Structure 1
């Protein structure tokens, strides 16, 4: 059982010595019941050493290391000072809450660590009675330190979060998909509702957005006159013919007359549909701007919406960049994949990238091949966007040109360009190599690999023939000697 316990608080590190080892090991339920009682729990542990943090920044640094399971120098020196390096027959065992930190302590200091439930119960009791067990500290001081450290830790996590920019894209594409459904649903509702009054308008104005605008502009069909035709034509893309058709249909419409209160509700609903459609357009422009900043290569290759859906489905651009091309290819088709694996059927060839124009332009025989090639280029583009200091859409345009060449290869058989050549051309356009040579004598971004000399197959064959002839001669000579003997 554990002989010592490590307690990490917001004020510093504390090492406690655990007494009554045999009772702790044999009477687990009794220990759990006595944890809440300070009088009983005070007999189980005694404070061996307490090392406070020097400042708030020092506390935040140690909190980050503890959360990642890293043994820093401050904690290492404390453990070395209070717990001597155990010998082979030593019985020193440290109770630690985090198993990752326990493995780090064991590998660095060779101190046996215990992360069992009994040890965690002891640490839980120490945390509960910390203001009484830690001498020189008051309850309010510990609470204030916890509050300040918690705010600093959360602020630092948000500040240094690699995926913080991706969150805006994920929320924007989710809202955009929801708005598409809502606009379609509301457009069908306004068509059905206003169709009771003016049913002929549906055939003249088939577009949902224009229909809602015209319904809001017209109101009661009886109010439409020739004076309003220029304004109506402005809503219909400056088409006077369609505006005149609307006027003629309004004069001879078979729709029923609605009450004033009904028309007010229809106009209010039409205005709401128009406002939602306008907001959807602004959100689309915001998403395009955000994608061009965060993932320009992926945007140039696939477009804003498909690239944003891939990032949203993966969780972040970092996660997407870590996926292999085979995972990117079927991203979004997980149900079909597991169904195929369960029924031992054909696995899906594509997921979210099916909406790309490349797959639609490919022939039925080449859809699987072009999807695999496109997923490969998506993986390259996401890694360039994620790990480059200054992402550029030039890489995505080069990768897009490679996909175009691959489609042309399927149709005509013209050989496409190699990936290394395409990337090197982009680097030459950006003048990266020249800038780096001026700043420092650094290696080029893509090292020039000299092709290895081709081996002459004919010489191989000749050498092999000579060896075979020599072996045959040796065998003949041996046979002749044996026959003479």
Structure 2
């Protein structure tokens, strides 16, 4: 062994002793400035936006990240270029291929492209240690190919140097190629991660239903504030106009009750849905009102606030229309089954339409009632029967004893509708309408006892209607469904064989021999000899006539 060179284990012990002051031989050369320890990594896997590459290390010392000299050598291409050597570089075929490999690498999956590169260059070499960046990918490579991997900080420091100088280390790359590839791959990878899709923006539904719920609270609060504020001036109006939206409009129109005349009856009638009697009652009540007088400044502020409330009501209506349009694109079957608002709340609570489609029906049934569920589990009480689906009209129409049963049935159909919406390419409401009819039939069954239609028949008709609609709009491939399942074909063939055998028996032909049961055997033993002879004779005559 040359002077100043030690095994790795001995060097570790000597370094620790020197750090603690145990080893103090002045003749021993200093090990710290010179990349002291042996590195076990011989190959380095480098993933970039342009392709996959393998590097080999040209040194026998371990890269110490904390050493200042090592970091300087990594940053300096003249020094670092002598430490690593390119073994193989395989570029991606296109941007889609790069995105596919990047997704697998991020999830710790060995892509077939990466597997081919490693098998071609490493094969089954014994004692090879591969340095990688992703720890999840390291374990997958070891499990798939049996190659030992290292993802320590020292390996990451070397790969950082390769990434820093990749345009000079990788052959065939021009200046700017790496940046353009990284930009394109970064946009594509981020777009896939946030599930960006202009046709199925369920995130817009989540934001819309959250804003709609907040608007409901704010509008109700502001409407009550208008009633209380204007009620000091015209208290009788509260009983005459119970609707908040109409009350705000009437308040904005009347203003000061002292200046009201018969000319205002026409505009009031239009505001009150052409109810002239109600408009005249308002005029009569204003003339005999017991409310206090208020100043013009107060009237102006009340009028401005009533205007804001009216605008909020109008905006809420437009937002509801927007939500209905979005639901008809993103989840048309769920909206047709359970309604726009309840369906949007289910999607919002689940986080996305994909998450909702993954939930079982039992989870959809109690979605939104998690607190009650865990409280019941903690106290060992009765678990809740429904969550957000309680706001569906089906639950309200069911009798008290059938609410739990119909909620379970409705959750089952909602789960099916969400899966159809999530995984079908063509938006259609045919299946959702069929599921809604099934819920209606189940309600009638609970009330009157009438038998509902079989689920297989309903689904078959719904799928045929959905396929026909998709074909009309040029999306026939979106609903690829087998015309007749294999089981039904087998049943039909079996029935056909039975009918043919029965026909042959009727014609007098001998039926296939069957295993005699014990009962038939006993009955045969009871026959007399003469009866047996007559039976044999009849069989012979039948065979002769057949011949």
TM-score w.r.t. the length of structure 1 is 0.80
In the superposition, relative to structure 1, how do residues 442 and 425 fare at CA in structure 2: closer, same or farther (>3 Å)? closer
1:131–1:139 contact (8 Å) kept in structure 2: no
2:122 maps to 1:83: yes
The offset of 1:336, in angstroms, is 1.5
Residues 10-409 of structure 1 correspond to what in structure 2 (within 5 A)?
A: 10-17=49-56, 31-32=65-66, 34=68, 37-39=71-73, 46-49=84-87, 51=89, 53=91, 57=95, 59-72=98-111, 74-86=113-125, 90-106=126-142, 108-115=144-151, 119-124=152-157, 126-127=159-160, 130-132=163-165, 135-136=168-169, 142-143=178-179, 145-155=181-191, 161=197, 164-409=200-445
Residue aligned with 2:250, SS? helix
1:424–1:446 contact (8 Å) kept in structure 2: no
Large movers: runs of 4+ above 6 Å: 19-22, 40-44, 137-141, 433-436, 439-442, 451-454, 464-469
5+ long unaligned stretches in structure 2: 1-39, 499-515, 524-547
2:86–2:169 contact (8 Å) kept in structure 1: no
Query: Which has the larger Rg?
Result: 2
CA distances 1:381-400 after superposition (whole Å, capped 9, x unpaired): 22222223334322222222
Match of residue 448, structure 2, among 412, 421, 429 = 412
For these two proteins, the number of residue pairs brought into alignment is: 449
The offset of 1:210, in angstroms, is 0.6
Q: Distance in 1 between matches of 2:127 and 2:219?
A: 71
In the superposition, relative to structure 1, how do residues 424 and 370 fare at CA in structure 2: closer, same or farther (>3 Å)? same
Residue aligned with 1:366, SS? helix
The offset of 1:72, in angstroms, is 4.2
Name the stretch that deviates more: 376-385 or 123-132: 123-132
5+ long unaligned stretches in structure 1: 25-29, 455-461, 470-485
The offset of 1:344, in angstroms, is 1.9
Name the stretch that deviates more: 182-191 or 127-136: 127-136
Aligned to 1:459: none
CA distances 1:141-174 after superposition (whole Å, capped 9, x unpaired): 6555433432343356668659842122222111
Q: Distance in 1 between matches of 2:44 and 2:108?
A: 17
The offset of 1:274, in angstroms, is 0.6
Residue aligned with 1:135, SS? helix
CA distances 1:19-70 after superposition (whole Å, capped 9, x unpaired): 777856xxxxx63455982327867952443627467625445434433445
2:167–2:175 contact (8 Å) kept in structure 1: no
Match of residue 5, structure 1, among 32, 44, 65 = 44
